[in-house]
Amino acid sequence: MNIVVVGLSHKTAPVEIREKVAFAPTEMEAPLRRMLALPAISEAVIVSTCNRVELYAASRTPESAIIELKKFLAEQHRLLAEQLTPHLYDYEGEDAIRHVLRVAASLDSMVIGEPQILGQIKTAYGYATEFKTAGVILNRFLHKAFSVAKRVRTETAIASSAVSVSFAAVELARKIFDTLDDKTVMLIGAGEMCELAAKHFVNNGVKKVMVTNRTFARAEKLAAEFDGGIPVSFENFREQLHRVDIVLSSTGAPDYVLESKKVKEIIKARRYKPMFLIDIAVPRDIDPLANKLDGIYLYDVDDLQGVVQANLKEREKEAAKAEKIIDGEIVQFQKWMSSLEVKPTIVGLRRKLDEVRKAEVEKTLSNLNGLGKKEQKAIEAMANAIVNKILHHPTNILKQSQEGSGGDIYIDAVRTLFDLPENTNDQQDVAEELDDK
């Protein structure tokens, strides 16, 4: 059994192609069933997001599976194969496993470490289980992908730093203030980015938002968007500033709205309680000299962008750690995969029962003194016969399961019920042993 991936992503296809290939979440049943019906495919999952469309399949004949899947994807969306194929990538075996683990762990995302992709794969897997197109292999595989993604998230700092300007502002504030719950934010002007940042602050605990604008009506309107938002007139917002911990400024004013001298008065009135000033306006609203004042932390748009860039670099570093985690997990998963082969399972099962038989025969014979050669032979023969009889039917079922789809479930069950090891080396020995016979 092999895992096969066919798909395209933001890295290989422009949005014009991606939107044509996307699957609507409301009608996943028909495509999933059609995909499962393909001759080379025994299990099917379809992942469709705005950045990628991928088909995951389990197959005994990966080469033909890839051809069928490519054809399926083109036909499904009424595209010409020539049109689609240049954008498609395909993986099988170890490469396929690695690819899916990387995607789930958000290493293949446009913004490395973004958390949505995991949820999207979970949803896709949800459809596959709902319509029963995922079998024992993809079930196990996707659960593996989820747990690997979780490991990457907890064991590396891949998603720990902000990669958007407004999140970066919140993160910086957390390095200045121990809590945001009792802090006050003031919005000066009505820039969209400021509004977004203010919302992030509110989501992170800020309760009080003051809004000021040259046009008071606009300040009122924006203030109404926040719980407990307070409009402040532009003429005397400076008199309120000593009560404000975080300032978000983005007016269209050509000059400084806040002079360094004024900021100095304010911070003094605050007894040097730290103040975080974020100036997103261009030209700038706040005199950059203010950053030199004790207790004032002033960030302009470039500063925030710089933080974001640094964080992105940091994520790339962390991604290298994540790749190592994935390497280890691939080895583990392949061990399990190879244990799903029929031959070694049959041999393993026989070996297990033979061990039991030998041990029990020995025990019985050593307890029964004075038996003749003939009697001993008879007991051994009986034990042999029992093992063979017991094994006969399961062996046949396992052999037959090789042909149809869904036979892996028996193999997995036998392995679990009889506690057969997953060790690959052992498997090889067993396979050789089988050939000898």
Closest by CA position to 188, among listed 164, 170, 163, 215: 215
* Residue 318 beta carbon to other proteins: minimum distance, rounded to whole angstroms: 9
By CB under 8 A, the count of residues binding other proteins is 24
Assess 205 for contact with other proteins (CB under 8 A): no
Assess 299 for contact with other proteins (CB under 8 A): yes
Assess 374 for contact with other proteins (CB under 8 A): no
Residues annotated within a binding site: 49-52, 109, 114-116, 120, 189-194
Closest by CA position to 247, among listed 311, 307, 312, 176: 176
Contact by Cβ (8 Å): 90, 6: yes
Phi, psi angle pair for 63, to nearest 5°: -60, -50
The three-point CA angle 246-252-257 to 5° equals 50
Tokens of 421: 């090891």
User: According to CB under 8 A, which one of 56, 72, 91, 177 is a site residue for other proteins?
Assistant: 177
Residue 321: how many other CB atoms lie within 10 Å: 14
Euclidean distance between CA atoms 113 and 106, whole angstroms: 5
Assess 306 for contact with other proteins (CB under 8 A): yes
Cis preceding linkage at 283, omega within 30: yes
Assess 79 for contact with other proteins (CB under 8 A): no
Contact by Cβ (8 Å): 83, 97: no
User: According to CB under 8 A, which one of 307, 347, 398, 411 is a site residue for other proteins?
Assistant: 307
- Give the nearer residue to other proteins in terms of CB position, either 314 or 354: 314
User: According to CB under 8 A, which one of 61, 123, 164, 291 is a site residue for other proteins?
Assistant: 291
- Give the nearer residue to other proteins in terms of CB position, either 272 or 418: 272
**Catalytic pick among 50, 320, 368, 386:** 50
Amino acid type, 394:
P
Helix orientation angle between 93-104 and 301-339, rounded to the nearest 10 degrees: 140
- Give the nearer residue to other proteins in terms of CB position, either 32 or 307: 307
Site map 251..290 versus other proteins, x via CB under 8 A:
--------------------xxxx----------------
Assess 167 for contact with other proteins (CB under 8 A): no
Euclidean distance between CA atoms 192 and 195, whole angstroms: 5
Assess 60 for contact with other proteins (CB under 8 A): no
Kind plus residue range of the DSSP H or E element containing 236: none
Assess 174 for contact with other proteins (CB under 8 A): yes
* Residue 107 beta carbon to other proteins: minimum distance, rounded to whole angstroms: 18
- Give the nearer residue to other proteins in terms of CB position, either 78 or 175: 175
209 contact partners, CB below 8 Å, separation of at least 6: 184, 185, 186, 187, 198, 201, 202, 223, 226, 228, 229, 230
Site map 110..149 versus other proteins, x via CB under 8 A:
----------------------------------------
H helix count then E strand count, the chain = 16, 10
* Residue 122 beta carbon to other proteins: minimum distance, rounded to whole angstroms: 26
Coil vs helix vs strand at 210: strand
- Give the nearer residue to other proteins in terms of CB position, either 53 or 170: 170
Tokens of 244: 């404000």
- Give the nearer residue to other proteins in terms of CB position, either 23 or 297: 297
Q: Is 50 a catalytic residue?
A: yes
Contacting residues toward other proteins, per CB under 8 A: 157, 160-161, 172, 174-179, 271-274, 291-292, 294-295, 297, 299, 303, 306-307, 310
The catalytic residues are 50
